[in-house]
Amino acid sequence: MEEGLRERKKRETRQRIADMAMGLFMIHGFDKVTVADVARAADVSVNTVFNYFGTKEDLFLDRQSEVGFLPSGVVHGRRPGESVVAAFRRDFLQAIEERDWRYGLNDGSDVFGRLVGDSPSLMARMRELEHERNTNLANTLAEVTDADPDDLTPQLVAAQILEATRLLSRNAVRRKLAGESWSEILPWLREQAEAVFDLLEKGIGDYGQVLAEKIASPPKKTNMST
């Protein structure tokens, strides 16, 4: 359905407020900027800001409603015969190549990460969002697999997949913050992603088994006496 004039103006106002807010956050830091500062920069009233965003954290995380259901979209977008893990592997590797924001791999992700790390309230909100994403994905997995309400498998699978992608993304951002270029990070991230998804596909049942066998059976000492 074609967007009406009123809806378009509301969308543009919301985007202008979010853009102004992010600009201020990047310059001054999240905690030092007030909603009144954002309202002045966007040339709107404080009430107008709160009409579009419930909290100051929502101003920073203006895509949160979309982000929360992106993993469910990956599940519904599987190719014929494709497993859930394979779909996430394909989606994550594609995001690496495209530097896409959906996994926090876009330009500016290091700035975003620094701002979050400097603000306790943003860190708390990010944890809430991660919980919401896990819940949404678990519900989707339960739906598509027709899982029993008491079956914990959808929750386990959702937690494992999303924590794997978060681990990969966070470490990529950490290396960027440490001064590495994307050209240096890219091959490492691609290799790590393949290894992580291999592990998710095969399971961790034999992880550490070889090491345990070596510990249980240390090499025999050679008699050096003559």
Q: For 167-190, write each residue's pLDDT tens digit.
A: 999 999 999 989 999 999 999 999
Confirm whether 209 is domain-assigned. Answer: no
CATH assignment at residue 44? 1.10.10.60
Task: For residues 71 and 171, state if they share a domain.
Answer: yes
* The predicted structure's pLDDT at residue 226: 46
How many Å separate Cα 82 from the centre of its chain?
Answer: 22
Task: For residues 29 and 69, state if they share a domain.
Answer: no
CA distances for 193 relative to 9, 13, 85, 205, angstroms: 41, 39, 12, 19
User: Which residues lie closer than 8 Å to 200 by C-beta, 6 or more apart?
Assistant: 85, 160, 161, 164
Task: For residues 144 and 44, state if they share a domain.
Answer: no
The parent domain of residue 54 ranges over 5-59
Q: Are 161 and 71 in contact (CB under 8 A)?
A: yes
What phi, psi does 46 have (nearest 5°)? Answer: -60, -40
Task: For residues 101 and 22, state if they share a domain.
Answer: no
From the list 53, 25, 38, the residue with the least C-alpha distance to 116 is 25
Task: For residues 114 and 97, state if they share a domain.
Answer: yes
Confirm whether 183 is domain-assigned. Answer: yes
* The predicted structure's pLDDT at residue 108: 84
Confirm whether 211 is domain-assigned. Answer: no
Domain count of the chain?
2
Q: Per-residue pLDDT tens for 44-92?
A: 999 999 999 999 999 998 877 788 899 999 999 999 999 999 999 999 9
For the cut 90, the answer to whether the pLDDT of residue 96 exceeds it is: yes
pTM value > 0.85: no
Percent of the chain with pLDDT over 70: 91
* The predicted structure's pLDDT at residue 65: 74
CA distances for 89 relative to 36, 110, 171, 192, 213, angstroms: 43, 23, 17, 11, 31
Task: For residues 121 and 179, state if they share a domain.
Answer: yes
How far apart are alpha carbons 60 and 116 in whole angstroms?
A: 9
Q: Per-residue pLDDT tens for 117-153?
A: 999 999 999 999 999 999 999 999 999 999 999 999 9
Length in residues, the chain: 226
Within 10 angstroms of residue 78's Cβ, the number of other Cβ atoms is 16
Confirm whether 175 is domain-assigned. Answer: yes
Confirm whether 89 is domain-assigned. Answer: yes
